Structure 1
Amino acid sequence: MELKIPYNKIRMNIEIPDENFQGVLESDPAGCRMEGTEQEIVERALDNPIGSQSLEELVKGKKSMVIISSDHTRPVPSHVTMPILLRRIREANPEIDITILIATGFHRATTHEELVQKYGEKIVAEEKIIVHDSRDDAGMADLGTLPSGGALKLNRIAIDTDLLIAEGFIESHFFAGFSGGRKSILPGIASATTVMANHCSEFIASPYARTGILKNNPIHRDMLYAAQQAKLAFILNVVIDAEKKVIGAFAGDSEQAHVTGCEFVLKMAEVKANPSDIVVTTNGGYPLDQNIYQSVKGMTAAEANCKEGGVIIMVSACNDGHGGQSFYENLRDAASPRALLERIAKVPRNETIPDQWEMQILARILAKFTVIMVTDMCSPEMIKEMHMEHAATFQEALQRAFEIKGNNASVTVIPDGVSVIVRTA
């Protein structure tokens, strides 16, 4: 069996013996695609807002507004969405003062080059763009307490404006259920203190804090409350395919439009588990496979499909390294993944440390499976220090997986682990 899977900015050719190959798990974007060009899909969503007045009605009479926009780690096609938003806003209110606020959450700052790649030269040169810094306590507004008990502190720029809206995209998310909607607020423009309280070990361990689940998800509950307190008035969220092209768009009320978009993604992405000894997965290529931190997302799809004691082959460039110093150091310094899991479980909510949630999920996976990282762009030593194995090529990884599980081991491929919701029942 020959397949092409995403790796960095290319498609990697892989081969799996027919006698071992058990199938492919992938989403069905073609069966869900809305009609029209990317621009037409977005315009139609804005023409038909869900549970809300139109964007044009909302901006009338306002002196200022903030558009929250995703950062460099998210493949939101802002070169498509942002020009449309800006045009429609200014046609309705030419004098309005617009600030684009980059929702970095707990990530590093987005660079000028990454902004240009995201929006194009014109928008970066002409618009007021501010990159959120979760560690800038002086720049935060105190909005009280989250339902979970954590402090709710959000970027003051978003709170002090006349109108707050957000653009983003919806995909399955490995502990928030789905991305998009309320996630633009928390973690998007929240303080580090708020992010860490929301991402506490208790919540991450919840069986409801999983891919494709919103109901009873404690992380989602906090995020929804944060969006309400921030007065997030309107969203434009898109759904994209493997080529990062818009295939669906949802605009309107921050909760209702988001839920409608999530239902669209669920229909497109839900697949039935096909338990295997070896599962091959990716993070969908660039930009999500830039580091090990983000690659944990793709691993969770494999986790849901891999037999206990099996092997996960994670094909991910990780050219930007580990993606989080605390994430890396805690895994490196742990005697074993299970020992790290046990230590994290004892950390109180308000003492959550940076990147704890990511190391907790990776440790959970490593405690059950062998993970082989396939990359020729990242330090093999770093990967090994984090309790994983390294392979420079896919063939090398597959050979090693057969050594572990035997030559008769079954193999399933998930070409894009971020784009599927694997259901075990």
Structure 2
Amino acid sequence: MIETVNKVVLPWNAWYEDTFLEISFPEKWQVDIFSLRGNKPVYSAQLREEAERMAEILRERKIQSVAIAIDDLTRPMSYEGFFEYLIPQLASWKYPPKVKIIIGLGTHRPLNRQELELKVGKTPFHFLDFVEVINHDYRNDVVPVGLEWGKVPVKVNRHFMEAQYRVVFSAIVPHPFAGFSGGPKMVLPGLSNIEVTRRTHQMALMGFVGKIGNVHNNKFRKLLDEFIRKIPVDYFIGFLTDERRQCIYLQSGELLKTYYDLTDVARRVYTIPRPEALYDVVWLNAYPKDTELLQIDTAFNPVLSAEEKFWHETTVFVVSAACHKGMGVHDLFGPGGALYRAPREKRLLKGHPVLFLLPTISREAFTKVFWEGYQLFNHPEEVILKIEELFSKPNLRLGIFPVASIQLTAP
């Protein structure tokens, strides 16, 4: 959906505030906003039905221990609405199964208690006699599963492997080299040892990947699926989100089939019509992946997924993000990590000015993640003044992607 306005309200600061950033642009600018389609959120009754379905499976199979792997705050979905139905149901049993909810961090930072409650709600913490919420620890809590990636032993979270019944929840959103996030990636690298995580990310550096928004003809995906078939996951629930991080669609079942079915739906949900104009300014707002500097590169998704350019030779690009948690943590790609590389100019945007609106980020932190030739600003007004300085004409055409980190551009 395209809307033309001059006062724009961008979603801002996912998880911690979920507020808005209001920006007023000059009257002579034509400002087009590319929003996602207005899909309705899933009703609570649907979440209840899904929770009841899962509880019934556990009852029928007489499951005594279940591990539920979920994604962290770098992904947009909260599972509070699901757990507030599932956990009380299990608590009503005479002998409820032991439940371990495991945050599949990969090599990201662990979540504190407040952040765990943002992800799963308060309900699990009211039933600590049989429920435990834990962060994945790739250093100390992984065990061999009898497989090797090259000559690297594959290890997976101990709590997940020891459970009688294994479940994966994940949001499915566009991913630069896996096509879409979630699904099998929740196990490898989400619950793996860092050596395996390193191998998965090295495949991206070597180019053995697919295109964003496409899970087919993807060497990384094919190899990952081979491993997942040998590390049994009993049940999977995938979730799609809207511009305010609400669940708009979910599907459950066997991991691989359900996941690939969902990616077809996700492609339709997250794809916007191809822009017809060539814009003077392309504004990419990183919400809902705007919590950490190390995650906001996904704001370039609409550009990376475009088969035809909607920008010209002198177009200015703007990236905006709240970055409430500062730089963030990635023990492989972050500063000091084994795969860290000095930032360079983006090949696709070579020669284009790229301006970053990051109110909480220092220049020192910024240049550890993005090329030093890019400019950093703390206020929207400064960005607008810089754009006016770069163009001699007063009538500019601006295209805004309010949730760029989950948006794809149609062919």
SS in 2 for 1:74: coil
Of the structure 1 ranges 386-395 and 189-198, higher mean CA displacement relative to structure 2 is found in 386-395
In 2: Cα distance, 1:308 partner to 1:144 partner: 49
For residues 9-43 of structure 1, what are the alpha-carbon distances to aligned partners after superposition, in whole Å with 9 as ceiling and x for unaligned? Answer: 3211223346543632222142xx37x62x22324
- 1:383: Cα distance to partner? 2.1
Alignment coverage as a number of residue pairs: 387
- 1:109: Cα distance to partner? 0.9
Q: What is aligned with 1:134?
A: 138
Gaps of 5+ in 2: 1-5
Q: Name the aligned partner's letter for residue 225 of structure 1.
A: E
In 1: Cα distance, 2:154 partner to 2:396 partner: 49
Q: What is aligned with 1:166?
A: 168
In 1: Cα distance, 2:246 partner to 2:356 partner: 27
Preserved contact between residue 287 and residue 404 of structure 2 (Cα < 8 Å): yes
**For the structure 1 residues 117 and 399, does the alpha-carbon distance in structure 2 shift closer, same or farther, using more than 3 Å as the test?**
same
- 1:80: Cα distance to partner? 0.7
Q: What is aligned with 1:28?
A: 37
Query: Which TM-score applies when normalising by structure 1?
Result: 0.80
Q: What is aligned with 1:40?
A: 45
Q: What is aligned with 2:338?
A: 353
Preserved contact between residue 73 and residue 119 of structure 2 (Cα < 8 Å): yes
Aligned positions of 1:115-264 closer than 5 A: 115-125=116-126, 126=128, 127-136=131-140, 139-146=142-149, 151-200=153-202, 202-204=203-205, 206=207, 209-264=210-265
**For the structure 1 residues 21 and 135, does the alpha-carbon distance in structure 2 shift closer, same or farther, using more than 3 Å as the test?**
farther
SS in 1 for 2:229: helix
In 2: Cα distance, 1:189 partner to 1:299 partner: 27
Q: Name the aligned partner's letter for residue 167 of structure 1.
A: F
SS in 2 for 1:230: coil
- 1:380: Cα distance to partner? 3.4
In 2: Cα distance, 1:105 partner to 1:361 partner: 25
| 2:286 matches 1:283 | yes
Query: Which TM-score applies when normalising by structure 2?
Result: 0.83
**For the structure 1 residues 160 and 301, does the alpha-carbon distance in structure 2 shift closer, same or farther, using more than 3 Å as the test?**
same
Of the structure 1 ranges 111-120 and 84-93, higher mean CA displacement relative to structure 2 is found in 84-93
In 2: Cα distance, 1:360 partner to 1:217 partner: 26
In 1: Cα distance, 2:92 partner to 2:257 partner: 26
Q: What is aligned with 2:3?
A: none
Percent identity over paired residues:
18
Q: Name the aligned partner's letter for residue 165 of structure 1.
A: V
Q: Name the aligned partner's letter for residue 56 of structure 1.
A: E
Q: Name the aligned partner's letter for residue 118 of structure 1.
A: K
Preserved contact between residue 178 and residue 212 of structure 1 (Cα < 8 Å): yes
Q: What is aligned with 1:299?
A: 300
Gaps of 5+ in 1: 49-53, 331-351
Structure (1/2) with the larger helix percentage: 1
Q: Name the aligned partner's letter for residue 168 of structure 2.
A: A
Q: What is aligned with 1:317?
A: 322
In 2: Cα distance, 1:360 partner to 1:142 partner: 36
**For the structure 1 residues 139 and 208, does the alpha-carbon distance in structure 2 shift closer, same or farther, using more than 3 Å as the test?**
closer
**For the structure 1 residues 62 and 329, does the alpha-carbon distance in structure 2 shift closer, same or farther, using more than 3 Å as the test?**
closer
**For the structure 1 residues 213 and 420, does the alpha-carbon distance in structure 2 shift closer, same or farther, using more than 3 Å as the test?**
same
- 1:161: Cα distance to partner? 1.9
| 2:382 matches 1:396 | yes
The one of 386, 407, 410 equivalent to 1:420 is 407
Preserved contact between residue 186 and residue 223 of structure 1 (Cα < 8 Å): yes
- 1:208: Cα distance to partner? 5.1
In 2: Cα distance, 1:373 partner to 1:367 partner: 16
Of the structure 1 ranges 378-387 and 166-175, higher mean CA displacement relative to structure 2 is found in 378-387
SS in 2 for 1:165: strand
- 1:150: Cα distance to partner? 5.7
For residues 351-372 of structure 1, what are the alpha-carbon distances to aligned partners after superposition, in whole Å with 9 as ceiling and x for unaligned? Answer: x92456xx77985466464322
**For the structure 1 residues 256 and 58, does the alpha-carbon distance in structure 2 shift closer, same or farther, using more than 3 Å as the test?**
farther
